[in-house]
Structure 1
Amino acid sequence: SITTLNGQPIASPNPDNKLIPLDIFPSSTVKNITVSKVYEAGSYADYSGAHIDIDTKESTGEHFFSAEVNVGGRFNTLGGDFYRMDRRSLFTQPKVDARAISGSLSDFRQYVTSRDIFDTDFSVSSRRALPVFGGNLAWGRDFKVGRQTLSVLASGGMSNDMQTMNDAEFRLLEATGIVTDEYGYDSYESELKMAALASLGLTMRDADRISYTFFFARNASDTYMRREGYDQEGHQLIGSNDVLHVYKLMTHQLSGVHEFGERWKLRWSGSWSGTSSDEPDRRQVMFLKNGDGSLSLFKLNQQETMRYFGTLDEKEWNAHVAADYLFGAGHKLTFGAACKDKSRDYTATRFYYDLDRLSPQIDDIYDTDGYLNFANVANGSLVIDRQQQPKDSYDAGNTIAAVYASVDLKPTERLLINAGLRLEMSKQWVDYANDQSIRQRRNLDKSDLFPALNLRYSLGERQQLRLALSRTVTRPSFIEMAPFLYQESYGSVQLRGNEELVNSYNYNVDLRYELLNRRGDMISVTGYYKFLDEPIERVQMLSGGAAVHTFRNADNGMAAGIEVEVRKSLTETLRIGANGTYMYTNVTLPDGGAYTNKERALQGASPYLVNADITWSPRFDEVRQLNLALLYNLQGPRIHAVGISGLGDVEQLPVHTLNFTAGYRINRWAEVKVQFSDLLGRALVFEQEVPQTGETVEVERYRPGTGFEVGLNLRF
């Protein structure tokens, strides 16, 4: 799937996620969100599921100012102890002395004993979890500039969150079913989100419009985790681990629409986006639980107590131009061209603590100031080693140039035909160092044609049939393609890209029947089929006794299913809606491969999905209105990671979610809102097959918890 902002590609604040989270857009600035499930030649062809377009408001035609404030929390978090490792606030991020990063290794070893290069330590403190707050301000106004109109819209918002997960579990298995690593853990996550949006729209003549949009988002998430369990060598361990991620996105968009007479229209757009993903100062201390119950520092290979600094930066340019020519009775011909250039730079530095000379008495794992301190570094009792290997950095890029043509024909009043053909020339590459520190480059260059045909036939005033045929591509993401080994904590699953991945191609068929009435009721039935040529899958294997998740191309696969959607007004104020999907998927695997199961479902695909909602919206007068909604979602079981080399598949069990929202408009200016998320409060559970015994073993379990929020919206 792809996400666009005002029709232009937009990256995610987390570059490792393809889709931008929709909740970072303040609702006061969103005009509509359009979801298209069929492909058209005017879009980039890296498209397999749906196209989600967020359209921001402009030319409001009114002056307004709105303010929103809300307070909430999670029931399993509020009032409880909330732990965090030493830091100042999520508005800033920890730093390391620049000289300690850039200098030579010999200079570093001398410099680190003369100056404390870190502005944080390993100590852990606790406080009571308080309610979380959020708010948003938005302002819009139209100005007359001569005969033209200048529309201005600005919005900014901020919110925080706190989440505790107690008694979570994680296990790693061998192919025989033996548990090699097992940990129980408590995690404490705090989050800060900030977003700002501004747009300008200027009309020129009566048939021209130029628009500029700026969007900025910063999401910071800090998670402290206390783990207790054992590793593959039988050591009884306690881990104290803290991970901070800071994601940023900034995008500038400029677009224009120009009409020339009654037949010609010119559309153009351009954008620049910069994203970053920083992991500043990930910290870990591992403690060994001795036979007598005492604790000592774990010193297996001098890498268990460490710090990690990682930076990832992406830049993306986009440009698009298209000309529409209207002819005949409702016909249109479109020619267009587009280009996109995306680059990524990633580098990481690790600091390992040599603890051989330290043997402190440990009574509290949270209190480390007495031994993990600068004084012991200065006197030589504690040695810090810096690791900057060539394989700890990589560069990647993707350039796409495209031209396309499409035609909309209306040969009869009942039939509408949209046909298009797109040519995309893609150059994708990654520069990296292998495990022997030898620099290498992987190029993935392809030129492909992507046809699309969409037909709509009206069976009557309220019934219609839609048929869509297309060919699209799924290109490997940078994280899937870059052979960089990433592990958040000792004993956890490692993630590594695969530089040998190739593009996957999708052949799509959709047939949809719709029945509508004047009240807005709807019944639709959709049947679809997708043939997947060399689909990319997430697989799990063992390497040196540790579990590694990586990515591979299967030979081919298919997905076929049916979706039924119903929208019905029971009364003037009561509406129900539901849609359900049943999908069958199957993957054919390469001959001679290391896959454990030779035939199975497609990784990541649920065999069934259900959404249902019921809304009640009574109106008491022209202004006062109550809106209540109960929303349910069911996601069927799906393969989280494919097992290879004798390991079984890791499967996520079904996920049930129930949310409730309520809103009451008091008057023209004020509205009160209440919402509850995840009312069922069920745990997320992952199980792994053991092919040798035919059993399944639970390998992970955690419970996010039920949350609530109360808000007040004012609009003037």
Structure 2
Amino acid sequence: MKRTPIITKHKLGLAIALALSGQMALAQEQEATETIEEVVTTGTRLQGSAAAVVEERKEQAFVADILGAEQISRTGDSDAAAALRRVTGLTLVDGKFIYIRGLGERYSSTQLNGAQVPSPDPTRNVIPLDMFPASIIESLEVQKSYSADKPAHFGGGNVDIRTKSLPEEEAFEIQIGTGWNSESSSDALAYGDSNDWLGSDDQRALAQPFLQALATYGSVNFTDIARYEEISTDQARLINRDLMNTMNTDYDVYTESVSPDIKGSVSYGNQFVLADDWTFGFLGAVDYDRATRNSDQERRVLGFSGENLVNQYRSESQISTHSVELSGMFNTGLEFGNNHKLETSSIFLRDTQDRIQRGITETIDTIGEENLSFFDTDIRYEERELLSHQLRGSHLFPELHNIAIDWQYTDATSRRDAPGNVFTRQGADADIGEQPQNLNYQRSRNAAVLEFQDLEDQVENYGADIELPFYLDGNELLLQAGGEVMRKARESYGRRFGFSTESTPLSELTNTEFSELFGPDSVNDPDNNLQVYGAPTLTDPNYLAAQQIEAGYGLFDYTTSKWRLNAGARWEQYSQVSAQIDLATSTIIGAIENTTRREDDWFGGAGLTYFVDDTTQLRLTYGKSTVRPDLREITEVVFIDPLTSDKVRGNPNLISTDVQSFDARWEWYGPAGDNWSLGAFYKDLTNPIESVEAKATDSDRVITFLNGDTGHVYGLEFEFLKDLTMVTDGLFVNGNLTLSDSEITIQNTGGVELTNNERRMTGHSKYVINTQLGYDTLDGEHSAALVYNVFGERIAFAGSVFGGRGIDDAFEQPFHSLDAIYTWYPDFNSKLRLKVQNLLGEDTEIMQNGQVIQKQTVGTSVSLEYSYSF
């Protein structure tokens, strides 16, 4: 069926089409009852989708890159994180966080429709961007040079996720899809009963009697119970056993066949005229995605045995991750008098991950020990949620010299719940790569370890901006001022319990399932003498934290026919406090003044744009900003990083990083959507914050944070989009290249002795390449793209000196990502898309001292999606 041409009815659409389309035709269509004049554009789909974002980028006063919804759809990216790796100078880490110009995720900030939002990640201050599905995104703006209207916490750049706006007329879209991954050809690991369709598992939480015992005794150790109740040890053991029986022990691991991915979304919106000059509109959307992924992982921890560098620990394991993502959005808008608009936006994001990891672990050449072989099982479950409510207003007063006022209020809460995570280590008669035999639980107080964590982050954010324009002899002067208040509060709680088998007969510990050994029948058998232990320790992630920022700014924007100058200053007062809590005594651990921060300072930015002609412009910008330690990082709380499995410890001596940024960029915007740009940047950092290795013994790798003395990042960025009609109609190529370097000088402090005190900054890649070869048929029925992305090796964490000998920095290796996307448009309302990701079958690798210390398979993913809209 021949696809109906796209019809543009508005003057603005006509102007954009003329600017960006190389071909255009006018036609008239005679219907039975009336004649409708229509403008028919026959430009490529790329040109149509890039129009608005290219124009917006061109009009920016500072260096910025923008991705529109159609561009995101074209590359087949399913969430904000995956889409942002296409932006010049950005790289994606762990599928969740972005590095801007080689600076780690701590140096980037994220906003949602211009407001700050909380994070459910326990070890990072930025929200995982994979939580935002592409279906709710209108555009993504990445501003790389600082301006006074942005928060002063600005290092590599600021990402603003702008959700879909209200439709101008009735709009409906439904999408369904499925997928498969090459690593899922084998059976997946599973345990217990299957989770419900939301991925929830309500049986994992601690029972009320257990919680009451913790509140009463401060722990569940039978010695503490006996002391508090003034009863005998035997009586206390019976109470302890009753408490152990309330805990979920349904953790027997088995394998099951992998089901195909399931995904779907639906959205509906409309607009109504209520009365003269009064219009009401709404938009609702729901997105659902369920998937299972298998991968194989190799992991090593290096250390010294005498003079030799050895693997203190190494493992090979299988990982199965069952994930469910659910998001919802509901927006409303009321426009009146043509100059006033009120909008509300409520967004709910939720994802669950059930991760099972099993495999052989060996401790090798450790001093005073023989080589040992174990079979480890690590089960982790987490629920992450974000709920955001926004109220925004926009007002124009023509009678008051065209003063414009914009304001917003945002209340957002994020939460991470990780109940009942389990780790067991069993002795095994097997080496790496062999099938484990004669599994036996160790006689230990921690034969099985259960962890329960709960984190809640709340942010209240409100502010207003006022603009006053002046027109002076054909030139325009815009004065802008505003203020913002942000309040953030975080609560984090964690408990760790051990199942003791210290006096259990060996026959009960060999070749026994988890539920059999720790189930009620075994627990109630007095001969087994099973107990549960657990009391708060300094390693439990229990803390309270709060942060408040009050800010005000002013700037001016002066534009003539040849140049534009934008400059402004921002004042911020920043207060922050974190307190580690002893849950047993409900007291603060340590001196709270050591984790209290109060600062106020002036920040600012300036940008000069010179218009060479109608197609070419030059930009020069300067910015002064800061990067502050996170709430958690200034307490000595220890977390397990859910992505790397490493322990992460805070440092109360951290101070803020001062950042000065310089940018220069040449831009050319040609016909048919073609554009080219070449930029240079330089960032000077004082007291940069770095992730370093503090300890590496046995299976533990502990990461902490240190302030360096100075840091520098500098480089070149090149971006292009070129129509290849000289080869064939509908063919185009676009991409970007970043070449950069960095330096940091950092001293040995906090009990950490670094191997390299001068090196590149953590997370910095010397090059980043993105390219896309696309093709659109002129009849509009078919579209295809081949998308490639790669980053240069980057330091995952800095190496340290142990026992007088240094271990090198650990480098994450380049990942060559090649994706193919094909889309068929059978009619004006339908779309069928086939996407193949990681065609090259690349794996992720981290190397240290010439050895692969971590490797994980990714596999090739295939998905098929169908959507219908009107």
Report the TM-score range of the alignment, normalised by the length of the smaller protein.
over 0.9
Give the deviation of 1:92 after TM superposition: 3.3
Q: Which among 189, 194, 209 is matched to residue 99 of structure 1? A: 209
2:344, 2:394 → 1: CA distance?
12
TM-score by length of 2: 0.77
Q: Which among 396, 402, 405 is matched to residue 545 of structure 2? A: 396
Q: Does 1:248 align with 2:385?
A: yes
Quick one: structure 1 residues 71 and 363, their matched pair in 2 at CA, closer, same or farther if it must change by over 3 Å? farther
Residue 84 of structure 1: aligned partner: 190
Give the deviation of 1:28 after TM superposition: 4.5
Quick one: structure 1 residues 492 and 67, their matched pair in 2 at CA, closer, same or farther if it must change by over 3 Å? closer
Pairs within 5 Å for 1:585-664: 585-590=742-747, 594-620=753-779, 624-645=780-801, 646-664=806-824
2:842, 2:828 → 1: CA distance?
39
The amino acid across from 1:700 in the alignment is: Q
Pairs within 5 Å for 1:16-415: 16-22=123-129, 24-78=131-185, 80-89=186-195, 90-93=199-202, 94-103=204-213, 104=217, 105=219, 106=224, 110-114=238-242, 116-147=245-276, 148-166=278-296, 168-174=297-303, 176-231=308-363, 232=366, 233=369, 234-261=371-398, 262-290=401-429, 295-299=438-442, 301-328=444-471, 329-358=475-504, 359-360=506-507, 367-380=513-526, 381=528, 382-389=530-537, 392=540, 393-410=542-559, 412-415=560-563
Give the deviation of 1:360 after TM superposition: 3.4
Structure 1 window deviating more from structure 2 (241-250 vs 19-28): it is: 19-28
Looking at both structures, which has the greater relative contact order when contacts are Cα pairs under 8 Å and sequence separation is at least 6?
Answer: 2
Give the deviation of 1:472 after TM superposition: 1.3
Give the deviation of 1:255 after TM superposition: 0.8
Give the deviation of 1:56 after TM superposition: 2.5
Structure 1 window deviating more from structure 2 (205-214 vs 101-110): it is: 101-110
Give the deviation of 1:158 after TM superposition: 0.7
| 1:324 match: secondary structure | strand
2:350, 2:748 → 1: CA distance?
46
Q: Deviations over 1:59-89 (max 9, x none)?
A: 31110221100000201204x2111232441
Give the deviation of 1:19 after TM superposition: 4.4
Unaligned runs of 5+ in 2: 1-107, 226-235
| 1:215 match: secondary structure | strand
Q: Deviations over 1:278-314 (max 9, x none)?
A: 1111011210125998535443752241111010011
| 2:816 match: secondary structure | strand
Q: Which among 121, 134, 137 is matched to residue 14 of structure 1? A: 121
2:649, 2:724 → 1: CA distance?
52
The amino acid across from 2:484 in the alignment is: A
Q: Which among 705, 720, 728 is matched to residue 551 of structure 1? A: 705
The amino acid across from 2:382 in the alignment is: H
Quick one: structure 1 residues 555 and 109, their matched pair in 2 at CA, closer, same or farther if it must change by over 3 Å? farther
Quick one: structure 1 residues 544 and 216, their matched pair in 2 at CA, closer, same or farther if it must change by over 3 Å? same
1:434, 1:554 → 2: CA distance?
31
TM-score by length of 1: 0.93
1:566, 1:425 → 2: CA distance?
41
Residue 838 of structure 2: aligned partner: 678
2:855, 2:330 → 1: CA distance?
42
Quick one: structure 1 residues 679 and 543, their matched pair in 2 at CA, closer, same or farther if it must change by over 3 Å? closer
The structure in which a higher percent of residues are strand is 1
Structure (1 or 2) with the larger CA radius of gyration = 2
Structure 1 window deviating more from structure 2 (81-90 vs 629-638): it is: 81-90
Q: Deviations over 1:595-626 (max 9, x none)?
A: 21122101111111111011101132xxx421
The structure in which a higher percent of residues are helix is 2
2:743, 2:754 → 1: CA distance?
14
Give the deviation of 1:668 after TM superposition: 1.9
| 2:183 match: secondary structure | coil
Query: Is contact 1:289–1:295 with CA below 8 Å preserved after alignment?
Result: yes
**Identical aligned residues as a percent:** 23
Quick one: structure 1 residues 74 and 498, their matched pair in 2 at CA, closer, same or farther if it must change by over 3 Å? same
Query: Is contact 2:131–2:350 with CA below 8 Å preserved after alignment?
Result: no
1:313, 1:445 → 2: CA distance?
23
| 2:523 match: secondary structure | helix
Q: Deviations over 1:351-389 (max 9, x none)?
A: 101112332366757x33322212222234211112223
Query: Is contact 1:29–1:138 with CA below 8 Å preserved after alignment?
Result: no
Residue 692 of structure 1: aligned partner: none
Q: How many corresponding residue pairs?
A: 702
The amino acid across from 2:718 in the alignment is: V
| 1:133 match: secondary structure | strand
2:122, 2:831 → 1: CA distance?
36
2:814, 2:569 → 1: CA distance?
39
- CA RMSD between the two structures: 2.4
Give the deviation of 1:16 after TM superposition: 4.0
The amino acid across from 2:627 in the alignment is: T
1:159, 1:272 → 2: CA distance?
26
Query: Is contact 1:41–1:450 with CA below 8 Å preserved after alignment?
Result: yes
| 1:114 match: secondary structure | helix
Structure 1 window deviating more from structure 2 (586-595 vs 425-434): it is: 586-595
Quick one: structure 1 residues 250 and 591, their matched pair in 2 at CA, closer, same or farther if it must change by over 3 Å? closer
Give the deviation of 1:437 after TM superposition: 8.3
Q: Deviations over 1:165-217 (max 9, x none)?
A: 12x21011115522111111111111100000010110122211011000001
2:514, 2:745 → 1: CA distance?
53
Structure 1 window deviating more from structure 2 (374-383 vs 597-606): it is: 374-383
1:26, 1:639 → 2: CA distance?
29
